[in-house]
């Protein structure tokens, strides 16, 4: 399908402050305002391994921020959407009628969010996805372009609807609930010409998939594999096409529940060993754990493989946990030496284990966790291109994710590389 430019269109008036939970969401019209506003609409509110462990913290300061990797390019393929974010004092019970305390309309979608983050950090970001020829699609393209994301490889359908998501942000529990409506017609491999795909991959340093649009993603992954371009896969949950894409992955970032669900291992550390055994191409896997930080297992290179005594990975995780600094508010990382890590009933892998902490955000500053995982991945993409070691990458990515949680929406709080909060992590 050829690329279409969207014609001028009137902005859609955002909907409501009143949400009806009786099986559907009911919205009433508000006066028109820009589809993608930069600030929220304020509404009335009623009132024996110790030797092998090293600790790394990124608390020192520097005089200037390093330049981003020269001409580093990340290509992403996956989700894009319009997010309708409504903040509520507490999540409603069935059949409740409540009022939101604030409303924001903003671009979303895992891949689009992660690439926006990468672009703000200085990478050249290219996105392959699909929108419709409607006001939402126009707004999404404009917002991405303003952030420096290359949208020239997006497919625009003449008919149908762009994807969108209702997001309910609960102020009481600091959680969010997402209700997604996919775009129609869906993206198919035939929508992306061979010439467009090759142009998108040209000089790319890394390719990223969020496992949406899996049929198209698999075609791109095969070509990236032929070109020996590294691939990062966001394994949020089991999806169609995920198993095929994981076979091409050099790096995987996954949610807390995924490793055990995918491997059927009895624990997360054991599941990480299982993933490296099942995916021989995989260099590292990171599991994000929310406010508990993250756990990363990195495969040792052939030159690093030692004939050392085996270490039980569960015991090593416990030791790392005891060694982490719980007194600091900023993200840190503790790590093991390269060793043979074993998991009972699963097997053995030579590698290093890293335990990263999250930023301790004061409750009054924690506004919305929407897109925090996408921010983390965007920062990991930057760190890989910049050649950061894991001891630097994990605290840096955690700090970027922490910044994103201080504003409503997935993109509002995404920092630029020059943000003073990031400078200490770029030493």
- Please give the chain's pLDDT, 427 residues, in tens: 434 434 333 333 334 334 443 333 443 333 333 444 433 333 333 323 333 333 444 333 334 445 566 789 999 999 999 999 999 999 999 999 999 999 999 999 999 999 999 999 999 999 999 999 999 999 999 999 999 999 999 999 999 999 999 999 999 998 989 999 999 999 999 999 999 999 999 999 999 999 999 999 999 999 999 999 999 999 999 999 999 999 999 999 999 999 999 999 999 999 999 999 999 999 999 999 999 999 999 999 877 776 667 999 999 999 999 999 888 999 999 999 999 999 999 999 999 999 999 999 999 999 999 999 999 999 999 999 999 999 999 999 999 999 999 999 999 999 999 999 999 999 7
Question: What's 95's DSSP letter?
Answer: T
Which are the contacts of 48, defined by CB distance < 8 A and separation ≥ 6? none
Q: To which H or E segment does residue 311 belong?
A: strand 310-312
Q: How far apart are CA 339 and CA 52, in angstroms?
A: 9
Q: What is the dihedral of CA 58, 64, 65, 69, to 10 degrees?
A: -120
Q: How far apart are CA 212 and CA 110, in angstroms?
A: 9
- CA-wise closest residue to 229 among 249, 210, 206, 251: 206
Task: Judge whether 99 and 47 are in contact, CB under 8 Å.
Answer: no
Q: How far apart are CA 266 and CA 261, in angstroms?
A: 9
Q: To which H or E segment does residue 397 belong?
A: helix 390-404
Backbone angles phi and psi of 325, in degrees to 5: -85, 110
Task: Judge whether 321 and 329 are in contact, CB under 8 Å.
Answer: no
What length is written for the chain? 427
- CA-wise closest residue to 333 among 392, 271, 276: 392
Question: What's 29's DSSP letter?
Answer: B
Alpha carbon distances (Å) from 424 to 44, 54, 113, 418, 427: 39, 19, 24, 11, 6
Q: How far apart are CA 338 and CA 53, in angstroms?
A: 10
Token pair 């699909």 is found at 130
Q: How far apart are CA 165 and CA 421, in angstroms?
A: 30
Q: Work out the burial of residue 215: count CB atoms within 10 Å of its CB; fewer than 13 is exposed, 13-18 middle, 19 or more buried.
A: middle
Q: Which pair of tokens denotes residue 17?
A: 């402050």
């Amino acid at each position: 399908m050829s690329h279409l430019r969207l014609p001028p269109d009137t902005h859609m008036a955002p909907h409501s402050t009143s949400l009806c939970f009786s099986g559907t969401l009911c919205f009433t019209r508000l006066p028109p305002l820009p589809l993608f506003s930069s600030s929220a609409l304020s509404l009335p509110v009623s009132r024996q391994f110790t030797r092998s462990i090293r600790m790394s913290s990124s608390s020192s300061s520097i005089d200037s921020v390093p330049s981003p990797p020269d001409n580093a390019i990340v290509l992403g393929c996956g989700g894009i959407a319009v997010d309708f974010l409504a903040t509520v004092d507490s999540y409603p019970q069935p059949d409740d009628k409540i009022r939101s305390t604030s409303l924001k309309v903003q671009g979303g979608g895992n891949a689009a969010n992660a690439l926006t983050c990468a672009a703000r950090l200085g990478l050249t970001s290219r996105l392959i996805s699909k929108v419709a020829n409607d006001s939402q699609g126009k707004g999404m393209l404009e917002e991405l372009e303003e952030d420096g994301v290359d949208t020239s490889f997006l497919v625009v359908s003449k008919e149908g609807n762009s994807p969108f998501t209702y997001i309910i942000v609960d102020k009481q529990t600091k959680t969010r609930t997402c209700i997604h409506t996919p775009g129609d017609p869906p993206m198919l491999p035939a929508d992306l010409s061979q010439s467009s795909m090759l142009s998108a991959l040209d000089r790319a340093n890394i390719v990223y998939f969020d496992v949406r649009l899996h049929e198209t993603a698999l075609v791109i992954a095969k070509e990236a594999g032929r070109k020996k371009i590294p691939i990062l896969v966001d394994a949020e949950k089991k999806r169609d096409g995920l198993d095929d894409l994981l076979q091409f992955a050099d790096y995987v970032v996954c949610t807390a529940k995924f490793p055990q669900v995918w491997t059927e291992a009895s624990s997360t550390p054991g599941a990480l060993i299982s993933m490296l055994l099942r995916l021989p191409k995989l260099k590292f896997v990171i599991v994000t754990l929310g406010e508990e930080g993250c756990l990363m297992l990195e495969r040792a290179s052939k030159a690093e493989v030692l004939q050392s005594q085996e270490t039980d990975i569960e015991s090593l995780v416990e030791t790392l946990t005891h060694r982490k600094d719980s007194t600091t508010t900023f993200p840190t990382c503790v790590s093991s030496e390269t060793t043979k890590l074993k998991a009972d009933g699963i097997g053995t892998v030579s590698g290093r284990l890293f335990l990263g902490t999250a930023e301790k955000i004061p409750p009054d500053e924690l506004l919305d966790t929407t897109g925090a995982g996408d921010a983390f991945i965007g920062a990991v993409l930057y760190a890989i291109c910049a050649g950061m070691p894991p001891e630097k990458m994990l605290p840096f990515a955690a700090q970027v994710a922490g910044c994103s949680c201080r504003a409503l929406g997935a993109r509002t709080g995404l920092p630029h590389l020059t943000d003073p909060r990031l400078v200490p992590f770029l030493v």
